[in-house]
Structure 1
Amino acid sequence: MMSSKPETQITFPYKHFFCYDIIGGALPFSSNVAPILTNQNTKSYLHATLDQVPDYVYWSEAIRDVLFYGPYIDKGPISKDQLIKNDIQIKKDKDSKKGVCCVSFEFDGEISIEAAMRMASFEDFDLTLDTSIPYKEIERRHKPFIDGLLSSISLAIPRYQGHKLVYQTTVIYREGRPLHVFPFDFTLGGFTLIPFTDEHIKDITRFAQKLTTHQELANTARLLSKSFDKDADQLMAFIAAWNSLEILINKNSKKLEKKLYEQKLRSDDSHVEYFIGRLKTLSDNRLKANDKFAILASLLNLSVNDRIEFDRIKDIRDRLIHGNDISIEKLPLKAIQTLLDKVLGRYIEADF
């Protein structure tokens, strides 16, 4: 008789919750809660108080604050379980005093997770940082609904001013016991904890001296910064990063081209070789974005791989704006952020 294989994955129910503050919004006094779209597995509603936020959201927020921020805060000889309960009450009391206009989404579903998943158990809950949790899959399931409803609000409300994420939580229920999921490789609220060093402070000061006095560079840096927003849509973040790089290239192309000609052209500079070769093929002598980037690459001593990466990103961007079917999730956001960070940093250092 053949023995059955051990079960490696088990299916559990989950709850996935988002709450956004509608900036400047106000519900009428008669409508503290206004349902929008609701079905068996989805609830969405506008609300004028945060009393509508489920308890498990406050638990998740308090767990993160106490267990992740806890090592940096001296709270005396109190158990972590009690600290979490205290923090929940503080958050609820604070939220009860707020007048808001929020839209919330609560999704119910099922997800398969590893039976041998690593987790820690506490008095009232379990906790996992296990990266095998398919958190991104849960997000992908519900993102179209969230995007569609937020877009509907922006179309329906005159003078719409945007929205800001207030709460985001995922809880899995294992035999009725809540398992709070923080699958961010030990991050806080989706952000990695980065201790600032003295070197970071020096860099901030050095960059600020240039960015606070040069508007064109400040605009470029602002767009790059915007692309890193936690709440930013992947498409909007990519466009912001691309526009940032394009502004830097176009705004300074004539000045950089002149500087390149003034310098002694090195015979081993592959960027210059590429640039001169391109000039021979341009009948109207109008430089394309790739040509302008080659000039910048030469002056900033970028690598050939940097120029190849730029060409790759630009090709995807061109196909996107010409209506080709490009998966938003596969846009090279991280690649353009990395390239732009390098280019902008060297540009500031070069002091053109």
Structure 2
Amino acid sequence: ASFRFFKILLEAIKRKNAKMASFTEVSTRKATRKDLDGDQDKTQNNREAPAEEEENVVDAEADEGDGDATDAKRKKNQEEEVDYESEEENGEENTDENLEDEDAESEKEERTPGDEEDQNEADGGDSQHLSFMSQTKKEKDRLLQSAESRVNAVVESHPSIQDYTFDTENELWCEVSLALPLMKVYFDISSLLVSLARSTVIHEVKGITRCLLNESANKQGEKELVLNTEGINLAELFRYSDILDLNRLYSNDIHAMAKTYGIESALRVIIKEIKDVFAVYGIVVDPRHLSLVADYMCFEGFYKPLNRFGIQSNSSPLQQMTFETSYKFLKDATMMGAHDELRSPSACLVVGKVVKGGTGLFDLKQPLT
């Protein structure tokens, strides 16, 4: 990730320098044209001006030569400082290696046959402790080697990168030293870095456009981190079960939830989403009404919308006509010769029949004797 971002940053700096330099060249050309136009108007009145201008040009060229020499000298000094720093770092590395070799030799000398006998007589607990210590030491050595290899890889990835350090514990920050060519163009590199950090994509998951890590309180009042995403990719999230609580995974994508967890989960999502929409306006809807709507949208085993397209699968033409586009459903039912058994509440209401629900499920009988 660091390699990619640093390369993008250096390319952006290069483009910014070229852009600023082109602006400087254009402004210089415009100024020289104006000066030439002004000089042509004054040549008839001033005869001695050309000689003075030639002297000024000579002085300017001499000054430019001094400036070039100064820049070259400054660049040479910087290169020498870089060489000195690299030699000092190499010297420090050599001294560290020599110290490690001396420590290893001293440890070998300190080991005597008597010590080996004591180690053989040690109990099982001491051996386990020593093995644990050796494992931790190996783990530390492995981490140090990986950190050094990472630093070397970053420094060698581009000639402009001089030094690189990072947070070895939490990996929350990194610091890089860049060597840029001396130019007379100045711009705010911090603003460029901020804009690139916001727009550059280092690693992405297909289907997820943005992630937000928010802190919230659970039912017990304990604070916990909640990961909110724009977009969905459930299959990719399942790979991170070690850091994510997949039992609390939720998405408002009804089709994705039905495809992954089944139609019952889609039913629960519909109820929750409708409830949340009304809760914004302070409206509380009876859960039985919400479950009725959700059941009707999912009872066929797949999710269908509650509109004229979703109701086309209903077997009652009268119920279809009472919902929407009555003329269309009436025409289709007439042409297809559809039959209605008057079992739905809407069809019963159309013909004035008692709905077969509630008290309409049974009849009252009067005893004759």
- Structure that is richer in helix per residue: 2
Structure with the larger strand share: 1
TM-score between both structures, scaled by the size of structure 1: 0.19
TM-score, normalization: structure 2?
A: 0.18
Larger Rg: 2
